[in-house]
Structure 1
Amino acid sequence: MTVVSPFESAAEYDDWFETHEGAYRAERAALERAVPDRFDRALEIGVGTGRFAAPLGISVGIDPAENPLERARNRGIESIRGIAESLPVGDETIDLAAFVTVFSFVDDLAATLAEAGRVLTDDGTLVVAVLDRSSPVGQLYQEHKDESPFYADATFLTGDEACAELEAAGFAVEQRLQTVFDDPAEISVADSNSASNDAGPDVREGHGDGLFAVIRATPSDTNR
């Protein structure tokens, strides 16, 4: 995971979530549906500033960029500098591992998934979120990615491609979810606030329509 320098701008990264709070709440809701109800030792790989780890109850985060880790620590995350392809974590010690849009930035996805399989317990859970290139908003992201300081070097996957990579690495896909069906700038807090919308954020099964695609998977013997 060597795409680091844009994400050293921790304040700019956090500002995106502040100005797109409706989309952020929808993304968080999709992840919350995928995360198991109970877990002990949890790890987010590519934790950034801890925007997702903290509300999901993930206590440990790894990231190659130092400045975001300072913000993650302030959010109560045990923050470690490291890369996805070589995790400084023992074998079969993690109950829940999460990647939030990180697949777009790793150098070696196969090595990344092998490491995730190594650190997960036999009954552990892997939760992955990708920005789905096949969705209508994802197509716009792909078209304009060179204009973004964060996405210029990103390789966007589709939800189906991410599932195929997981299965090739020996994971069994258990759940597919999606959200963010419109331009994130146009999703209001009211649209994603369960206090004003009994249905809560718009999170649907499947992939292909929503920008933010979430997958829950479990390891198999081939990961060992």
Structure 2
Amino acid sequence: MRTAPFREHTEQYEAWFETFEAAYQSEVAALEALWEPGTRSLEVGVGTGQFAGPLDVTYGVEPAPEMLEHAVARGIKCLRGVGEQLPIASNSIQSVLMVTTVCFFEDLPAALAEANRVLTDGGQLLLGFIDRESKVGKQYQAIKDESPFYRDATFYTTEEIESALQTAGFDHFETRQTIFDLPDQLDEPDPVREGTGEGSFVALSARA
């Protein structure tokens, strides 16, 4: 997983959630609409815990120690590690969360296979990501070279993510979408709607 930007710009990352609070709250609401945390849940790429906190996630895995400090302060039990090789026992987690991490994995198929490995039979994987073909996705791609976070990111369409999930052994897909304008133009959280194709942020639930 590409960690350097998050180690070097942790405070800039944290500031995004305050600057674009309406977009952040929209994303949380879309995830909440599908999330089933159970008693043993894990966020892969937990970052600073901005999503694990409100979604009541039990454990977090994150490669950047600077980010982990914030997540621990938010009450998340954390381990240092990467999504492609989780330090978690097989068949031990009921729900896995990955928010805006799929674009940073060095090996997306390996990360999805690892999520399947640690999940119990029928367990939930919930992904949150920016669709490459959406308004925000196109903006992020246009400024990739100027962004310390997205310079090395690989953006995907919802169809590409679903295909990768199927290859990794997941099924029973369900989606929600939100953020129908650019984040800096939102004065309040956007609604959460079923399906995809209009909102830039997609929440996609799948079953192991």
Q: TM-score range, shorter-chain basis?
A: over 0.9
Letter in 2 for 1:207: T
Q: Which residue of 2 aligns with 1:101?
A: 100
Q: Which residue of 1 aligns with 2:206?
A: 217
Q: Does 1:46 align with 2:45?
A: yes
- Tell me the distance in 1 between the aligned counterparts of 2:4 and 2:91: 31
Displacement of 1:173 after TM fit?
A: 3.5
Displacement of 1:51 after TM fit?
A: 0.1
- Tell me the distance in 2 between the aligned counterparts of 1:185 and 1:23: 8
- Tell me the distance in 2 between the aligned counterparts of 1:17 and 1:136: 19
Letter in 1 for 2:23: A
CA contact (8 A) 2:135 2:182 kept: no
- Tell me the distance in 2 between the aligned counterparts of 1:168 and 1:31: 23
Displacement of 1:146 after TM fit?
A: 1.4
CA contact (8 A) 1:163 1:173 kept: no
Q: Which residue of 1 aligns with 2:124?
A: 125
Q: Does 1:202 align with 2:182?
A: no
CA contact (8 A) 1:130 1:158 kept: no
Q: Which residue of 2 aligns with 1:27?
A: 27
- Tell me the distance in 1 between the aligned counterparts of 2:17 and 2:112: 27
- 3-state SS of 2:53 partner: helix
- 3-state SS of 1:55 partner: coil
Which stretches of structure 1, 4 residues or longer, exceed 4 Å deviation after superposition? none
CA contact (8 A) 2:39 2:58 kept: no
CA contact (8 A) 2:131 2:202 kept: yes
- Tell me the distance in 1 between the aligned counterparts of 2:63 and 2:53: 18
Q: Which residue of 2 aligns with 1:222?
A: none
Displacement of 1:205 after TM fit?
A: 1.4
Q: Which residue of 1 aligns with 2:4?
A: 5
**Percent sequence identity over aligned pairs:** 47
Gaps of 5+ in 2: none
Displacement of 1:107 after TM fit?
A: 1.0
Q: Spell out, residue by residue over 1:132-185, the C-alpha distance to the aligned partner (whole angstroms, 9 max, x if none).
A: 011122112111111111111100001111111111111004311111111101
Q: Which residue of 1 aligns with 2:14?
A: 14
Letter in 2 for 1:77: I
Displacement of 1:90 after TM fit?
A: 0.4
Gaps of 5+ in 1: 193-200, 220-224
Letter in 2 for 1:54: G
Q: C-alpha root-mean-square deviation of aligned residues, in Å? A: 1.1
Tell me whether 69-78 or 142-151 shows the greater mean CA deviation.
Answer: 142-151
Displacement of 1:123 after TM fit?
A: 2.5
Q: TM-score, normalised by structure 1?
A: 0.90
Q: Does 1:72 align with 2:71?
A: yes
- Tell me the distance in 2 between the aligned counterparts of 1:109 and 1:49: 21
- Tell me the distance in 2 between the aligned counterparts of 1:78 and 1:129: 21
